[in-house]
Structure 1
C-alpha cells in the first residue's frame, strides 16, 4: 500500500482516510467516464466481447495520445490474475487488428483509424494494490504494461499512482534506436542539432524508471501512464518540445517558452519549449521534471 497520506487543513488538520471502492465496477465506471483526463486515453468500449471462441470480455478498450491501442483491466483490491488476464486480452487484440480498427473508425472516424500505431499496444492494470511479484513480472515481460494503484479519499477525491510502467524493451535498446526525429536532426541540421536531440533524449529518459519512448512520424513522445513530453522534428536551428505543464504557472520567456493552449501542433502539451543550445536543455530541466510528475 502507498505511504501517501492526505490531510484536510480547513479548521485544523484532519487525515482523509483512503479506502477501496465498494465494487470493481465503481472504479471502472469512474475511469471510463474520465479516461482521457486520468490516463490520456480516449475511451472506445466497455465490456468488449472477445467472441464465443475466447469467451471473455475486455473491461475497457481505448486509444492513447499516440494512437496506440490500450486494454484496461480493473480489480477492486489485490488480484494475482489481473496481469495474466490483461495479457491474454492484449494477445487477442493483436490477432484482431481489423476488428479494433473498425471500432476506432466507428467511434473516432476514418482518419484516426488509419493512424493506429500497432508497434506498442499497451495494457493498463488498475487495482487497489499490487505485490512485489507483480512488479517484478511486468519488468521481465516484452509488452508495454502499466500498473496503477487507486485509492478513494472521502467522497470526492480519487488518487492514482503509477506503481510500475514498462515498455517491454530495455532502456539500452530505446536509447540506441534512432527514430524519425533523431534522423531528421542528424540529416537536416548536422551534428550540433543531433547532439542537442540526444541530450534531450538522455534528460527525459533519465527522469525516472518506466519512461517509454514512442516514435511517430512527426514527433517522439515520452510517456509514463500518459505523455509528459513530445519532441518534434527540428525547425532550422532549434528543437520544439511540448510539455504537460500549465502555462499559467510558468513565467513565459520569449524565445524559450510559449503558451500554445488551443493552438494546433504535433504531439501533446500546452507549453512549448524552444531549445537551441545545451544551456537551454539545462534551463528546461525543472520544466521536464514538473511535466514528468504530472504524468
Structure 2
C-alpha cells in the first residue's frame, strides 16, 4: 500500500505497520474463503489442474457478477511472472470452455452455466506489489486484467488496492458515441434516450479510477473489481441504473430512486435510479460516487 498509513487512535495515536503474508497460501486461503466479499467473484475451485502438455495449476477459479470466468493468481511479494502465468492459464481456459462450463454446472447449476460470458474472461493478480512495468504490460494486452496489491495491518485488518485495471473489450470502447450507449439507433424517437445513455456512460466512467465496462445482452456493468453500477437497456422514456449503494442510507425520492432489495431485475445492485433527463443525471452524481466508493 504505497503511500497509505494506518493509525490506531485508541489511547493516543500509533501507526499500524503494514506487512506481507508469511506465505503465499495465507493470502490465497483468506481470499478464497471470502472471495465474493473481497473481489465480487463467486469461488469455484482451488488449485485447479489443467490438462495440457506443460501442465499447471490455476490458483483459484471463479465467476463474477456478470458471469464472466475469473482466474485469480497470487504471489506473496513481487513476481514479474505472475501476469504471463495468468495469461497462460487464461489461454487454456478459453480453449477448454466445456471444462469450465461443467465446473460451473456442478457448483452453481445449469442456469448459471448457460449464462457464461466468454467475451470477457478476467485475470486478477493479487500480490504484495507490482512494478511500473507490470502496470504498463497489462495495458498492452487484449485481455481483462486487474492488478491488486494486498497488505496486512496488525492482526485484524487486510487492505486491497487496485494498482491497474484494464478491459479486454478495447474495440467496444472505440466505437462511436451512439453505439457506445448500447442502444438501438434505427428509431427516431430513441434519440433523446441515446444521448442520455451516452451521458450516463461518460459520467460512470469518469466517477473514479480503474473502471471497466462489461456488456451483456440486457445491461452494461461498470466495475472496479466488482460491479458498482448496471445500466439496463432503455425503456421508452427512462433509463434504469442499479447501484451498490445501500438504499437504507439514501433518502428515497418517488419516481427517482427505489429500494429493489429482493426484487428481480437485470444487473446487480439494490438501489434503482430512474433517469429521464440530464437534470436527473446531475442529481444522480452523488449516488454514483457513493456506489463507486462501496464497490
What's the TM-score bracket when you normalise by the shorter of the two chains?
A: over 0.9
Shift of residue 30, structure 1, vs aligned partner: 0.4
SS in 1 for 2:21: coil
Instruction: Give the corresponding residue for 1:98.
Output: 98
Instruction: Give the corresponding residue for 1:234.
Output: 234
Instruction: Give the corresponding residue for 1:159.
Output: 159
Instruction: Give the corresponding residue for 1:24.
Output: 24
- Of 112-121 and 6-15, more deviation after overlay is shown by 6-15
Q: Is the 8 A contact 1:167 1:210 kept in 2?
A: no
- Of 138-147 and 208-217, more deviation after overlay is shown by 208-217
In the alignment, the residues of structure 2 paired with residue 171 and residue 88 of structure 1 have an alpha-carbon distance, to the nearest angstrom, of: 22
Q: Is the 8 A contact 1:228 1:291 kept in 2?
A: yes
Instruction: Give the corresponding residue for 1:74.
Output: 74
Instruction: Give the corresponding residue for 1:124.
Output: 124
Q: Is the 8 A contact 2:181 2:198 kept in 1?
A: no
Shift of residue 248, structure 1, vs aligned partner: 2.0
In the alignment, the residues of structure 1 paired with residue 33 and residue 111 of structure 2 have an alpha-carbon distance, to the nearest angstrom, of: 24
Which blocks of at least 5 consecutive residues in structure 1 are unaligned? none
TM-score, structure 1 length as denominator?
Answer: 0.94
| Aligned 1:38-187 pairs, distance under 5 A | 38-51=38-51, 53-170=53-170, 173-174=173-174, 176=176, 182-184=182-184, 187=187
Which blocks of at least 5 consecutive residues in structure 2 are unaligned? none
Count residues with an aligned counterpart. Answer: 295
- Of 81-90 and 12-21, more deviation after overlay is shown by 12-21
Q: Is the 8 A contact 1:32 1:43 kept in 2?
A: yes
Shift of residue 259, structure 1, vs aligned partner: 1.5
CA change 1:82–1:72 in 2 (3 A) is: same
Shift of residue 217, structure 1, vs aligned partner: 1.3
In the alignment, the residues of structure 2 paired with residue 203 and residue 230 of structure 1 have an alpha-carbon distance, to the nearest angstrom, of: 13
SS in 2 for 1:287: helix
In the alignment, the residues of structure 2 paired with residue 57 and residue 200 of structure 1 have an alpha-carbon distance, to the nearest angstrom, of: 41
In the alignment, the residues of structure 2 paired with residue 22 and residue 189 of structure 1 have an alpha-carbon distance, to the nearest angstrom, of: 61
Q: Is the 8 A contact 1:75 1:127 kept in 2?
A: yes
Shift of residue 10, structure 1, vs aligned partner: 2.1
- Of 23-32 and 216-225, more deviation after overlay is shown by 216-225
Q: Deviations over 1:36-75 (max 9, x none)?
A: 1111111000000012523100000000100110000000
CA change 1:190–1:36 in 2 (3 A) is: same
Instruction: Give the corresponding residue for 2:197.
Output: 197
In the alignment, the residues of structure 1 paired with residue 35 and residue 261 of structure 2 have an alpha-carbon distance, to the nearest angstrom, of: 21
CA change 1:188–1:176 in 2 (3 A) is: same
State yes or no: 1:9 paired with 2:12. no
CA change 1:129–1:265 in 2 (3 A) is: same
Shift of residue 155, structure 1, vs aligned partner: 1.0
In the alignment, the residues of structure 1 paired with residue 146 and residue 155 of structure 2 have an alpha-carbon distance, to the nearest angstrom, of: 26
